[in-house]
Amino acid sequence: MTEPFTQAAGEKKVLTADDDASGRLDAWIAAALSGQISRNRIQSLIRDGVVNVNGSPVHEAKHKIAPGDRVEITVPEAEEAEPQAEDIPLDFLFEDDDLIVIAKPAGLVVHPGAGNWSGTLVNALLYHCGSTLSGIGGVKRPGIVHRLDKNTSGVMVVAKNDFAHRHLSDQFADHGRTGPLQRAYLALVWGRPAQLKGTIDAPLGRAGADRTKRAVRTGDTADTRHAVTHFQVRERYGETDGSGALASLVECRLETGRTHQIRVHMEHIGHPLIGDPEYSSAFKTKVNILPEPAGTAVKQLHRQALHAYLLQIEHPRDGRTLRFEAPIPEDMSKIITAFSTL
């Protein structure tokens, strides 16, 4: 009927009906494209007048296809929905004409996306800053230079203009190799790493068909990315007679910045983050054998125990080094206090 559908948005695709073609136009197009565009989407395109049959636009999805019909379809570029300003409280650590530094709470999504079109950090920043945010990040990511997972708390910097955005983006891309950039996290992990200090050098890529989950990859695939995490054990909890610790507080510093990097790397060495729903499922039963009050404190944690406590940057305008720290949030602090009594 036709070759596989490989059209980029904005390009025209030409299909020719076979000798036995029949039925509704929308159903025929969906079959011709092997389901690579949903039927609902095709119906919308027909209504929008971007589907032509034999050189003329057709606006009815029920239009009957006939053998030999020449169908032209153009998929428009997707338009990003413009986020709306929302009065969401933020914890500001610093602000001037070039940048904003905040302590992001756990549960706050950084920018709008599927399932999170409102209530994000971007919505809050638009309310606070109006139209002054940098536009480099696009409609959905104004001012965003880096990001933290929804359920990771900690320090974030946001650019207020394009000059600051470019300068800060260059710093994050360099990962502190030639400048003062530092990013450090505190993580509560199960057990105690064999080494009190070490480096995890393990490439990351998609975990199978799951678009959001990551895994350590040994093969050279298109989505595999170099990833390096440096860690140091700060505290050990519940350690008696050399039998190993129940949990540890670990400081992690990023040499690269990949999606879920710390979470996957700590799981890779056998010490996943406490509370991590994606990467510590094998340790869920450990919660039930924790002594009190540690057991209750862990059960009340509804996220991975990861906090970006430190961010150091070079100010894009005057070059001075700025260092920001965010205190450990209450949910993690309760666990640390409870573990400290073991």
Active-site residue, 87 included: no
Cβ distance 22 to 16 under 8 Å? no
The helix or strand, by DSSP H or E, that contains position 295, with its residue range, turns out to be helix 294-299
E-strand ranges in the chain read 12-16, 51-53, 56-57, 70-74, 92-95, 99-104, 153-159, 182-190, 197-201, 204-207, 210-216, 228-237, 247-254, 306-314, 321-325
Take residue 161 and report the two structure tokens written for it.
Answer: 């203009």
At 8 the pLDDT is: 47
Residue of 149, 183, 154 whose CA lies nearest to 307: 154
Q: d(Cα 121, Cα 144) in Å, to the nearest integer?
A: 9
Cβ within 8 Å of residue 271, ≥6 positions away: 189, 190, 191, 192, 193, 248, 250
Out of 26, 69, 98, 149, which one is annotated catalytic?
A: 149
Partner residues linked to 157 by β-bridges: 101
Cβ distance 37 to 75 under 8 Å? yes
At 2 the pLDDT is: 39
How many C-beta neighbours within 10 Å does residue 112 have?
22
Domains of the chain: 12-74 (3.10.290.10), 80-174 (3.30.2350.10), 180-342 (3.30.2350.10)
pTM for this one? 0.76
At 240 the pLDDT is: 67
At 241 the pLDDT is: 60
Q: d(Cα 159, Cα 154) in Å, to the nearest integer?
A: 17
> Mind listing the pLDDT tens digit of every residue in the chain (342 residues)?
333 344 445 567 888 888 888 899 988 888 888 766 777 778 888 888 889 999 989 989 899 999 999 999 877 665 566 889 999 999 999 999 999 999 999 999 999 877 778 899 999 999 999 878 988 877 788 999 999 999 999 999 999 999 999 999 999 999 889 999 999 999 999 999 989 999 999 999 988 777 789 999 987 777 889 999 999 999 999 876 656 789 999 999 999 989 999 999 999 999 999 999 999 988 888 888 898 999 999 999 999 999 999 999 999 999 999 999 999 999 999 999 999 988
**10 alpha-carbon distance from chain centroid:** 27
